[in-house]
Amino acid sequence: MIITENLTKIFRDKKRGEVRAVDGIDFQCFPGQIYGLLGANGAGKTTTLRLLATILQPTSGTARVAGYDLNTQPEMVRRNIGFLSTATALYGRLTARETVEYFGRLGGQNGSALAERIEEIFDLLGIQEFASRRCDKLSTGMKQKVSIARTLVNDPDVMILDEPTVGLDVMTSRTIVRFIKDCRSRGKTVILSTHVMSEAEKLCDTIGIIHAGKLLAEGSLEELRGKTGLDDLEEIFIRTVGLTE
Amino acid sequence: MKLQQIGIVYRKELRDTLRDRRTLISMVVVPILLMPILIFGMATITIRLVEKARSEGSSVMLLGSEHAPELAVEIENHEGITVIPPAEDFVRRIENKDLRVAVEFPPGFESRLETGTDSSDLEVKIYHYEGELRSTFALRTMQSILRNYRDRVVEKRLKDRHLSTEILQPFQTVASNVASPEKVGGQLTGGLIPYLIIMLCLTGAMYPAIDLTAGEKERGTIETILASPVSRGALATGKFLTVLTASVSTAVLSLLSLGVTLRLAPLFVEIGSQKGKQLFQFAMSFSGVVAVFAMIIPLAVMFSAALLAIALLAKSYKEAQSYISPLMILVMLPSLVSILPGIELSRLLVWIPVLNVSLVSKDILSGTFQWDRIALIFLSSSVYAAGALWVAARAFQRESVLFRT
C-alpha cells in the first residue's frame, strides 16, 4: 500500500532557480494492483519514485509506504520495497549469486534460509546457469534477471519500478512484464512509471497522468475514457496535458 | 543491527575492491616493490656513479704549465688524471662536460716560489663546473695536489730557516662519532622513508575511495544501494572502513617490504664506499616501526575520510581523479619539506598535519623518542582525522552531493 500526502520535491538549480519537480501529489496504490505513472520526460515520474524509495527526501508532504512514513521511518520503508529502474545497475565485480546474497543480507537474512531463498528465485528466473559469473560479464537480459532477483530476495510488499522496460529488447522486456504481472497476482503493491502508452494500457489497473510535477488525472483506463470521452490513451494523455498548457 | 550492517557493507566493499586491478596495484604491488627498487636501485646507482666517476679519470687542462714545470709533471703522473693540451675554448669545454677542470698558473709561478721572496699574490686558478659531480671530483683532486705542493714549499722554507714543521701544528683535531649507526642511518635515509610511507598511504586509499563513490555513480549502482535496506550511516562507515583498510594495508606492506629489504640488502649488494655501508647499516628497531605505524594510523584515517568526501562530489572516475590531484600535491609538499636537511620539529610544526607525522617519524626511526611531542602529534592528527570524518559523514547525507547534476 502506498498513500502519498501532498508529496512535494523542490530542487534549487543555479540556472533555472527553483524547480518544483514534484508538486503536491496525492494518490494511493493498493495491494494486488498496478499503478502506472504516465508522463513525458521531465514530468516528475522519476523524482516521485525516488521519493517513494527514500533515495530522495521530500521538501514537504510525505507518503506512507507499506505502512511506514517516508520521513520518519526511511529504513523501514527500504526494508519493504523493491526498487528497480534502468539506472539501478549491478556491481560488475560481484557474481550474480554474491549480488543477490549481499542485498539479502542487508535485508536481515542469512544462513541457510537465505541460501534457500536464492535457490528458489534463481530457479524461478533461470539464473542458475550463470549464477557464478561476474555481473559485468552478463548480457543485458541476464543482468535484468539478476536485478529482478535482487528486488525479490527480501520479498518486499511494494515494488517501485521506474521505466522498467526502457531500452530493453523484446525478450527481456517480456521477462519484466511477466515479473510485474506476477507481483500483482501475489498481492504486491506495484507502482511503475512509463511514457509508453501501450505498456500503461496493457499493464496498469490505475493510470495517473503526471505533468510538470502535478498529477492531472487519475483512474482506470475506462474511467479516463469516460472522463474525456476519448478512446485512445494517447489522445487522452494529450488532451489532459494539453488542457493545462 | 547497525554494526551488523556495517560489517556486511564492509565485507562486500572489500571483496569488490580487491577484485579491482587498479586498487590491487596501488595497494599491494607498488608498496612491496617500491622499497627494494628504491633502496637497492638508488643505492647501487649512486655508488656505481660515484665510483665510475672516480675510476674513469679526469681530463685536466693546464694553462701556463711552462710556469710550473715540476707541478705539471706531478699532475701528469697523478693516477686518474689525463692532461690534455691547452686550448682557448676551455670554458666551453668545461660547460660541455668534455673537460673536467682547467688549471691556470700565473707567470713565473715556480721560479718565484723558488726565490723565496714574497709570493702571497700568486694565484693558481682552477676552472670548474659547480655542482657537476665529475668536475667536483677533479676539483678536489687538483686542490689536494696543490695543497701537498704548498706544504712541501712551506716545509722547504722552514728548513731553510732551520725551523721545525711542528710549529705549524701546535695541536691536532680528531672527529669522533657518538651517534649509533641507527641514528646516522636515520639522518641519512630517515626523512625519505616516512615520506614514502605517507605517500603510499594516500595512493593506496585513492583508488578504492574513488571506486566506492564516484565509481558507483558512474556505474549506476548508487541508486541500487540507496534504495536498499541499509542506512546511509552504515553505508558510509562500511565504505570508510574499506578505504582505511586499503590505506593501512599499503602502509603495513611497505613497512614490511622495507624491513625485509634492509635485512637482505647487505647480502646482495656489494657496497664499496663508506657512505653505502652507512646507508644499509640503518637498522630499524621493531619498536620504532611500531611507533611509526601508530603515528600513521590517524593520518590514514584522515586521508581515507578526505578522499571519500572529495571523490563523492565527483560524478565520474575521471572527475574524481582531477579533484584529488590537488590533494596529492597538498600532501606531497609538507612531507617533502620534512626531507630537507636541518628541518626539526618545533612547537609550531607539531600542529601542521602530515609534516608533523613525517618529522616525528624521522626522529623515531633514528631512535629518538620525545614522548610529549609524539603524544601531541598523535592528538593533533587525530583531531584532523575526526574533522575529515565528520565532513565525509555529512557528505553522505546530502542529496546535492549524492545526486549532483
Same domain, B101 and B236: no
Which pLDDT does position B274 carry in this prediction?
Answer: 53
What is the extent of the structural domain holding B122? 57-167
**Diameter over CA atoms, chain B:** 103
| CATH assignment of the domain containing B113 | 3.40.190
CB–CB contact A55 B19 (8 Å): no
Same domain, B152 and B187: no
Same domain, B127 and B196: no
More confident residue, B243 or B292: B243
Q: Band the pLDDT of B346: cuts 50, 70, 90.
A: confident
Which pLDDT does position B187 carry in this prediction?
Answer: 61
**Distance (Å) of CA B107 to CA B68, B73, B119, B124, B148:** 9, 17, 12, 10, 21
What's the complex ipTM?
0.92
Query: What are the pLDDT digits (tens) for B123-137?
Result: 899 999 998 888 888
CB–CB contact B229 A106 (8 Å): yes
Which pLDDT does position B213 carry in this prediction?
Answer: 94
Q: Band the pLDDT of B184: cuts 50, 70, 90.
A: low
Task: Quote the percentage of chain A above a pLDDT of 90.
Answer: 77
Which pLDDT does position B189 carry in this prediction?
Answer: 62
- B288 inside domain: yes
Kindly tell me the sign of the dihedral angle through the C-alpha atoms of B258, B264, B265, B269: negative
Nearest residue, CB atoms, A83 vs list B227, B231, B399 = B227
Picking from A14, A80, A88, A132 by the largest number of B CB atoms within 10 A of its own CB, the best residue to mutate is A88
Residue B311 corresponds to which cell in the numbers above? 571523490
Cα gap B67→B86, rounded to integer Å? 14
DSSP letter at B351 equals G
- In this prediction, residues B293-307 reach a mean pLDDT of 92
**pLDDT above 80 for B183:** no
Query: What are the pLDDT digits (tens) for A192-226?
Result: 999 888 889 989 999 999 999 999 999 999 999 99
More confident residue, A86 or B350: B350
Cα gap B100→B142, rounded to integer Å? 11
Q: Which residues contact A241 (CB under 8 A, 6 or more apart)?
A: A40, A209, A211, A216
Picking from B211, B216, B221, B317 by the largest number of A CB atoms within 10 A of its own CB, the best residue to mutate is B221
Cα gap B239→B208, rounded to integer Å? 9
Same domain, B69 and B203: no
Phi and psi based region of residue A29 (left: phi greater than 0; alpha: psi -120 to 50; beta: remaining): beta
- In this prediction, residues B242-255 reach a mean pLDDT of 92
- The strand pairing partners of A65, in sequence order, are A2, A68
Q: Does A171 touch chain B (CB under 8 A)?
A: no
SS3 string, B254-312, reads: HHHHHHHHHHHHHHHCCCCCHHHHHHHHCCCCHHHHHHHHHHHHHHHHHHHHHHHHHHH
Instruction: Give how far the C-alpha of residue A243 lies from the chain's centroid of Cα atoms, to the nearest Å.
Output: 28
Domain ranges of chain A: 2-80+157-243, 90-155
Cα torsion through B83, B89, B94, B95, rounded to 10: -170
Nearest residue, CB atoms, B399 vs list A56, A83, A102 = A56
- B96 inside domain: yes
- B149 inside domain: yes
Same domain, B97 and B145: yes
Cα gap B229→A104, rounded to integer Å? 9
Same domain, B199 and B282: yes
Q: Give the SS3 label for residue B127.
A: strand
Same domain, B245 and B375: yes
Same domain, B223 and B306: yes
Q: Which amino acid is at B155?
A: E
H or E element, residue B217: helix B214-219
Q: Band the pLDDT of B81: cuts 50, 70, 90.
A: confident
Q: Which amino acid is at B170?
A: P
Compute the residue count for chain A. 245
Lowest mean pLDDT among A107-111, B188-192, B251-255, B353-357: B188-192
Query: Average per-residue pLDDT in chain A?
Result: 92
Which pLDDT does position A82 carry in this prediction?
Answer: 95
CATH 3.40.50.300 fits A2-80+157-243, yes or no: yes
Same domain, B236 and B285: yes
Residue A6 corresponds to which cell in the numbers above? 501532498
Q: Does B74 touch chain A (CB under 8 A)?
A: no
Lowest mean pLDDT among A62-66, B85-89, B176-180, B377-381: B176-180
Query: What are the pLDDT digits (tens) for A125-170?
Result: 999 999 999 999 999 889 989 999 999 999 999 999 999 888 888 8
- B238 inside domain: yes
- In this prediction, residues B326-354 reach a mean pLDDT of 83
**pLDDT above 60 for B269:** no
- B340 inside domain: yes
Residue B268 corresponds to which cell in the numbers above? 646482495
**pLDDT above 80 for B53:** no
- Are A143 and A90 in contact by the 8 Å Cβ rule? The answer is yes
Q: Give the SS3 label for residue B93.
A: helix
- Are B61 and B90 in contact by the 8 Å Cβ rule? The answer is yes
Which pLDDT does position B279 carry in this prediction?
Answer: 52
**Distance (Å) of CA B334 to CA A6, A129, A202, B330:** 54, 55, 66, 7
Alpha-carbon distance A88 to nearest alpha carbon in chain B (angstroms):
5
Which pLDDT does position B405 carry in this prediction?
Answer: 62
Domains contained in chain B, number? 2
Same domain, B263 and B342: yes
Q: Does A108 touch chain B (CB under 8 A)?
A: yes
Which of B167, B190, B208 is the last residue in one of the domains?
A: B167
H or E element, residue B208: helix B192-212
More confident residue, B369 or B14: B14
| Chain B residue at shortest CA distance from A95 | B16
Same domain, B216 and B112: no
Residue A9: is it exposed, middle or buried by C-beta count within 10 angstroms (0-12/13-18/19+)? buried
| Chain B residue at shortest CA distance from A59 | B399
- The strand pairing partners of A213, in sequence order, are none
Which pLDDT does position B46 carry in this prediction?
Answer: 77
More confident residue, A91 or B361: A91
Enumerate the residues of chain A whose CB falls inside 8 A of the CB of residue B19: 93
Task: Quote the percentage of chain B above a pLDDT of 90.
Answer: 35
- Are B320 and B224 in contact by the 8 Å Cβ rule? The answer is no
Query: Average per-residue pLDDT in chain B?
Result: 85
